[in-house]
Structure 1
């Protein structure tokens, strides 16, 4: 729809009055059925150019006066018309027309506005109420478009966060695979040892079963019984079950420990990769720290010693996999910033209104101009192909969505420190018993 057609839909054709008409003529016209819906009537000259409007309110004021019809009724309409009415061109956009009219409108509304063509000739009347309704419909339509755009934006943002999460996880895949291979390796070795150690025990069980069968058989002669006893004794001596107890216990314990490590890695990967829907889960942030360290362990262990100073924390509502994503991103960045061998210090503590996490590394640090931009989307100092520039930007958005803050301080040659503050629910006052 063009801007002209938008106003054309508001246009209400009215037969204009001439300036030679009297006040009585206007009053009679206002009483007709087709004009009862209007607040005013237009006055035009011979060329069709609008001269003004006569409002219904003005005419009523005259005729409500004593002898008003007789005293003023035959006077020319020019005496009571508004010579400076609201005039809008049909070429004007709906929004601009609304700005013009509302900018000059007086309350209470006693007049309509005149619509003219490009030559300034009268085309019809427009009512303020219809204009407001049209604007309301236009705003509602645009709000609907904006709402859809907002929904699409949020979906795209969620997909972007998940994509960055999986990209971060992809960078850790080799390390995680190594972390899985280590316990898998000795679980496999232990199973092979158990198979070797259990073989003599199975032979002993077979020999003892043969001896029992011989003892239970009335037809078994002394030679067969002696042979069975000798074989069972030989197999028992070779198996030495009394010496295997300690070895088997150790092998089972080591195997279970390895399986437990594998299970922790799998659970950590699942928790990290899952897509959170709501932030309703009560979480101890120390658990998030340990989970992130578990995933990042292989990437960090050759670069830095990790020191933990974890305080006692209250559980707070949050999306744990999103917090894990932030911590993993910070740990990964810290490891990459360290040249040679360094250290990373992770601390957590509770304040009256917040739970805090601090991550400090002994890496190369950042100059002030880089530090000022680290949370900007797509900003990265890494070589092409080694970073998307979205990790810290998404981390900032995640913490912001949790109602928290994330700040950074850095100095060239001395490392970087990130501080995360997440709000904690206010404690309810204790109720005194009566």
Structure 2
């Protein structure tokens, strides 16, 4: 729809009045059925250019006077018309026309407005009521568009959140898989060693079983017995079971230690995801910190030493999987910000106002112009393909939804510190991220 057609639909093709027409003639025309919907009639010159508007109200004022019709009725209508009518071009947009009309209207409303073409020639009348109805329809249409846009935006936001979660999950799974490989590797090696070391014992058992069978067999001759004794002695010498006890004890111990590490990672992964926990569960944030450190260990271990200063914290109601996501993001970013090898210090404490978690790194730091944008969606300083720019934005939203704040302080060359503060009680209406 063009702006011209929008206003053209409001146009009422009223036949204009010549300025020489008498007041009585105009009054009679206003009484006709085709003009009953109009508050006024247009007056134009010979070139169809608007000269003014004659309103019903003005004529009524004249005719209400004593002998008004007799004294003034024969006068030309130009004497009683409004020479400065409201004129709107058909080229004007519907919104601008509404602003123009409402900006110049006087109350009570006694006149319509004139619609003209691009050359200023009269085209017809427009009524305020028609204009208001058109604007109401336009606003209703835009509201529908905005509602749809809002729904689409929410769906896009959910998809973006899910994409970021999947990206974090991918990093987490890769890290956990790498961490599992180490204990799995030496558990596998130990099992192979146990198999190799136990083979002579099984051979000894077979030789001794053969010797026992020969001893129990009355028909076993001396030659078979001597061979069985010789084989048993050789197997005993090769197996040397008294020497294997220490090796077996060491191998079993190492294997159990490796399995315990695997179990620790699995439990840590489950605690990190909190898949079996309620959204409103009361948790110790220090447990969240330890869980996030365990999952992030693969990203951190080659980049930084981790120093923990965890104070005693009261349990608070929160969404632990979301808090873990925030902590994992901060720890991963801290490791990525360090060139060479550095230090990550994580602290927790509480006071009367709330609970606090501080994550500080000795990395590159950030200039003020970068620090001002880090919580903006899609802003990232990482190379293309290495970051979505959503991690800190989502972390900010999660902390905000918990009724808390996340702040940052940084200086180039001196590292970065993030501070999370959470109230003792979760906000009752905490939003739940998808």
CA contact (8 A) 1:354 1:423 kept: yes
What's the counterpart of residue 89 of structure 2?
Answer: 89
Following superposition, the deviation at residue 387 of structure 1 comes to 3.5
What is the distance in 2 between the residues matched to 1:282 and 1:26? 81
1:157 counterpart = 2:157: yes
What's the counterpart of residue 307 of structure 2?
Answer: 306
**Two-structure CA RMSD over aligned residues (Å):** 3.9
The SS at the match of 2:348 is strand
Following superposition, the deviation at residue 86 of structure 1 comes to 0.7
1:103 counterpart = 2:103: yes
What's the counterpart of residue 431 of structure 1?
Answer: none
Match of 1:264 among 242, 262, 267: 267
Say if 1:43 and 1:422 are closer, same or farther in 2 by CA, change over 3 A. Answer: farther
CA contact (8 A) 1:164 1:391 kept: yes
Following superposition, the deviation at residue 104 of structure 1 comes to 1.4
CA contact (8 A) 1:184 1:262 kept: no
What's the counterpart of residue 2 of structure 1?
Answer: 2
Say if 1:150 and 1:364 are closer, same or farther in 2 by CA, change over 3 A. Answer: same
The SS at the match of 1:46 is coil
What's the counterpart of residue 221 of structure 2?
Answer: none
Consecutive unaligned residues in structure 1, runs of 5 or more:
204-237, 239-245, 429-434
CA contact (8 A) 1:359 1:419 kept: yes
What is the distance in 1 between the residues matched to 2:377 and 2:151? 20
CA contact (8 A) 1:52 1:84 kept: yes
CA contact (8 A) 1:113 1:125 kept: yes
CA contact (8 A) 1:268 1:294 kept: no
What is the distance in 2 between the residues matched to 1:76 and 1:113? 21
The SS at the match of 1:17 is coil
CA contact (8 A) 2:55 2:81 kept: yes
Q: TM (normalized to structure 2)?
A: 0.73
What's the counterpart of residue 345 of structure 2?
Answer: 345
What's the counterpart of residue 281 of structure 1?
Answer: 280
What's the counterpart of residue 28 of structure 2?
Answer: 28
What is the number of equivalent residue pairs in this alignment? 376
Say if 1:290 and 1:23 are closer, same or farther in 2 by CA, change over 3 A. Answer: farther
Following superposition, the deviation at residue 377 of structure 1 comes to 4.6
CA contact (8 A) 1:183 1:262 kept: no
Following superposition, the deviation at residue 331 of structure 1 comes to 0.1
What is the distance in 1 between the residues matched to 2:66 and 2:318? 76
What is the distance in 2 between the residues matched to 1:424 and 1:75? 85
Consecutive unaligned residues in structure 2, runs of 5 or more:
206-240, 242-248, 429-434
What's the counterpart of residue 118 of structure 2?
Answer: 118
What is the distance in 2 between the residues matched to 1:350 and 1:33? 81
The SS at the match of 2:106 is coil
What is the distance in 2 between the residues matched to 1:410 and 1:296? 22
Q: TM (normalized to structure 1)?
A: 0.73
Say if 1:116 and 1:62 are closer, same or farther in 2 by CA, change over 3 A. Answer: same
What's the counterpart of residue 72 of structure 2?
Answer: 72
CA contact (8 A) 2:403 2:423 kept: yes
Matches of residues 2-401 of structure 1 in structure 2 within 5 Å? 2-181=2-181, 260-268=263-271, 270-271=273-274, 281=280, 284=283, 285-302=285-302, 303-318=304-319, 320-350=320-350, 354-400=354-400
Say if 1:350 and 1:137 are closer, same or farther in 2 by CA, change over 3 A. Answer: farther
Following superposition, the deviation at residue 160 of structure 1 comes to 2.0
